[in-house]
A and B are shown apart, each in its own frame.
Chain A
Amino acid sequence: MKELIKNRIAFAGLIFISIILLFAFFAPFIAPYDPSAIDANNILASPSLSHIFGTDTLGRDIFSRIVYGSRISLSIGFIAVGIAVMIGVVFGSIAGYYGGRLDSIMMRFVDIMLCFPAFFLILAVIAILEPSIFNIMIVIGATSWMGVARLVRAEILTLKERDYVAAAKVMGASDARIIARHLIPNAIAPVLVSATLGIGGAILVESALSFLGIGVQPPTPSWGNILMDGKSTLGVAWWLTVFPGIFILLTVLAYNLLGEGLRDILEPRLKE
């Protein structure tokens, strides 16, 4: 933590993430308006003191929608990555620990999954199931665990040769116990880095899906579907496009900076 504060850029990322988290938690207190309150007298109002980011085609306050949208966008980011990390850790540690044929079959499966353009796969599954927030989280998670699996496998491959693992084995620890208690905790640093970077990626995917109309469905605001309204009014109401985009950009940037910072701190051997 001390090192994180010293790493100014990563710390800036952390601060911004905290602000967005505050937005999400205290949305009703921060948002000046109800995010779905339609105001026929204020359609496409440009940014002013009463609506700092302007209003949309139904007269809804953009800032309030962004504040409430942060709840959706962040929780999709967190949960999708949580799912990806869980699948990846279990998959990677089994492949790495048992090795041999099982390992090569499992890693082949990872290669195959990596061949699908992830965005195609996500769209296809969402098209077949319904585009609900729940499905989006699961599908993004289920298509983005491969990197974590490879990382964990590589770590476990070297860790399992260590003496303390042999010692645990001699003492009669089961495979599951060795993996869960002795191997995974020591392999978690690179996973943490990749998960932090992954949250940014998941937020980008969610916003792209919602922008295309296949993600979070209106009237629930997400950063992506606020932008969807911006597309048709681009020439007349720039604020509909610019502000939600800046929030996505800064949030993803913050996670990327934090992730890179964590990499420098947790994996000093990779430092240039």
Chain B
Amino acid sequence: MLRYIAKRFLGLVPVFFGITLISFFVIHLAPGKPTDIQTSLNPKVSFEARMRLEKLYGLDKPLGVQYINWLKRFLVFDFGRSYVDDRNVSEKIVERLPITLLINISSMILILFIGIPLGVISAVKKGSIADRATTVFAFFGFSAPEFWLALLLMNLFAIQLGWLPISGIKSLDFEYLSLPMKILDVARHLILPVAIAAFGALAGISRYMRASMIGIIHEDYIRTARSKGLKESAVIYKHALRNALLPVITILGLSVPGLIGGSVIFESIFAIPGMGRLFYESVMARDYPTILGVLSIGAILTLLGNLLADIAYSYADPRIRVK
């Protein structure tokens, strides 16, 4: 098992370098040089001063050398300083990351615990009202814009009914609350964002689960299990479900970038100080170092998500490890 994990991990190394290359390429799409902000806008800056600045930032070196230097700093998560407040970009990210992870992991759990049972039910009772309802729900989930749902739910539950807080992650009197009340307070703030984040992927997972389960139910070994006289529930939950889950694990891994990307939308709607909102703010301010930092961290998180999915898969299906 360890060997398998190590092998998968090694396989990620070239992908990691690819990610850094593309990120590097993306910032170099920007017209002009990073020092333009300090120089072009100021006519008093002399040519020599400009050259000195470029030398200071290493911009006089060939692109390949610049990439290597940048990569060296990247490996220790040094993304430079933000143009907006001159703070370390990595510091800013570390500050914002936990809340985004909390929301994404919670919605992942929600996806698993609702999406998989929904898919199983609609596969086992194919053609029933429950199946049709799930299908309609799934298509709705695929097609509804997240931000629109967020606005509608916010209007209903927070503005009209007043059951949930409108935005942010904690109340104004948060500091004076006892610990259990603090947890409850944050949870109340996160209900809507987590539900919204989970919604689209949930619909997808339930469809995949359904298709995968329907495929399995017609396999020979299921017929064998049935003809042995096993109870229907044992056939479904012991024999079919385990195998039907396998492809879904991969799909879950693949849904990580969507979740992370989606955090831009719901974090800016609900004013949640997470990584998505940080990204949005830096995009609006054209804060390139921060944009680049968040972009790469997002890709690395996805990479880790895929690795986790691979490990989970090999755990669930020992055949994979041998191959």
In this assembly, does A20 line the interface, its C-beta being within 8 Å of a C-beta of chain B?
Answer: no
Contact with A along B127-163 (1 / 0, CB 8 A): 0000000000001101111111001101100010000
Q: Least Cβ distance of A131 to chain B in Å?
A: 10
Residue A118 lies at the interface, judged by CB distance under 8 Å to chain B? yes
B145 and A212: CB pair below 8 A?
A: no
In whole Å, how far is B92's beta carbon from the nearest beta carbon of chain A? 16
Q: Is A157 part of the binding interface, using a Cβ–Cβ cutoff of 8 Å? A: no
Does B316 sit at the interface, judged by CB under 8 A?
no
Among B15, B142, B265, B284, the most chain A Cβ lie within 10 Å of the Cβ of B142
What is the CB-to-nearest-CB distance from B197 to chain A, in angstroms, rounded to a whole number?
13
Chain B proximity of A105: nearest CB distance (Å) = 10
Are A212's CB and B154's CB within 8 A? no
B258 touches A227 (CB 8 A): no
- A–B complex contacts, Cβ < 8 Å, 13 sampled: A111-B18, A114-B257, A120-B261, A123-B280, A124-B26, A127-B291, A200-B142, A214-B284, A238-B155, A241-B148, A249-B143, A252-B143, A253-B143
List of B residues within 8 angstroms of A200 by Cβ: 142-143
Structural contact, A256 and B261, CB atoms closer than 8 A: no
Q: Is A116 an interface residue (CB 8 A)?
A: yes
Q: Which of B139, B295, B306 contacts A253 (CB 8 A)?
A: B139
Query: Which one of B27, B146, B151, B260 contacts A117 once the chains associate, using CB atoms below 8 Å?
Result: B260
Asked whether A129 and B29 contact (CB < 8 A) given A116-B295, A253-B139, the answer is: yes
Which residues of A lie under 8 Å from residue B142 when comparing CB positions? Answer: 200, 252-253, 256
Min C-beta distance of A248 to chain B, whole Å: 5
Name the residue on A nearest B297 (C-beta). A120
Bound form: Cα–Cα A214–B284 in Å: 8
Q: Is the CB of B211 within 8 A of A272?
A: yes
Cβ 8 A contact of A234, one of B155, B258, B292, B295 = B155
Q: Which of B155-189 contact A (CB under 8 A)?
A: 155, 159
The reply on A231 being an interface residue by CB < 8 A is: yes
Answer whether residue A171 sits at the interface, using C-beta atoms and an 8 A cutoff: no
Considering the chains assembled together, what is the distance between the CA atoms of A249 and B18 in angstroms?
36
A113 within 8 A of B: yes
Residues of A within 8 A of B312 (CB): none
Chain B CB within 8 A of A121 CB? yes
Min CB distance A258 to B, Å, is 12
Given A116-B19, A116-B298, A211-B147, A108–B14 Cβ distance below 8 Å?
Answer: yes
Counting CB contacts under 8 A, is A22 at the interface? no
**B262 on interface, CB distance cutoff 8 Å:** yes
B contact residues vs A (CB 8 Å cutoff):
14-15, 18-19, 22, 26-27, 29-30, 139-140, 142-148, 151-152, 154-155, 159, 211, 214-215, 254, 257-258, 260-262, 264-265, 268-269, 279-280, 282-284, 286, 288, 291-292, 294-295, 298-299, 302-303, 306
Which residues of A are found within 8 Å of B211, using beta-carbon distances? 272
Contacts A111-B18, A127-B282, A230-B151 known; list 11 others, CB within 8 Å.
A108-B18, A115-B299, A124-B283, A125-B26, A127-B284, A127-B291, A128-B26, A212-B280, A213-B284, A252-B143, A253-B142
Is A112 a contact partner of B294 (Cβ separation < 8 A)?
no
How near does chain B come to A102, taking the closest CB pair, in angstroms? 15
A127 to B290, CA, bound (A): 12
Our pick among B258, B269, B302 for the contact of A115 (Cβ within 8 Å) is B302
Interface size on A, residues (CB 8 A): 45
Contacts of B159 in A (CB 8 A): 234-235
* Assembled-state Cα–Cα distance A235/B286 (Å): 32
CB closest residue in chain B, given A245: B148
A60 to B283, CA, bound (A): 29
Q: Contacts A117-B257, A129-B29 given: A231-B295 contact, CB under 8 Å?
A: no
Q: Which secondary structure dominates chain B's binding surface?
A: helix
Contacts of A256 in B (CB 8 A): 139, 142-143
Q: With a CB–CB cut-off of 8 A, which chain A residues contact B264?
A: 119-120, 123, 212
- What CA separation (Å) do A112 and B19 show in the bound complex? 6
A202 within 8 A of B: no
- Point out the residues of chain B lying under 8 angstroms from A116, CB to CB: 19, 22, 257, 295, 298-299, 302
**B18-A117 in contact (CB<8A):** no
A206-240 near B? 1/0 per residue, CB < 8 Å = 01100111100000000000010011001100100
Known contacts being A118-B261, A212-B280, is A125 close to B29, with CB within 8 Å? yes
For B152, list chain A residues within 8 Å (CB): 241-242, 245
A257 at the interface (CB under 8 A from B): yes
- The distance in angstroms between the C-alpha atoms of A89 and B261, with both chains bound, is 26
Instruction: Chain A residues near B214: list those with CB within 8 A.
Output: 272
User: 6 nearest interchain CB pairs?
Assistant: A119-B261, A117-B261, A112-B18, A245-B148, A253-B143, A252-B143
User: How many angstroms between the C-alpha atoms of A229 and B282 in the bound complex?
Assistant: 22
Chain A, residues 256-270, CB within 8 Å of chain B (1/0): the string is 110000000000000
**What's the least CB distance linking A71 to chain B, in Å?**
19
Given contacts A118-B257, A235-B159, contact A207 B295 (CB under 8 A): no
Partner of A112 from the list B22, B148, B268, B284 (CB cut-off 8 Å) is: B22
CB–CB A248/B145 < 8 A: yes
A242 contacts which chain B residues (CB < 8 A)? 152
Interface contact B145-A249, CB-CB below 8 Å: yes
A123 touches B143 (CB 8 A): no
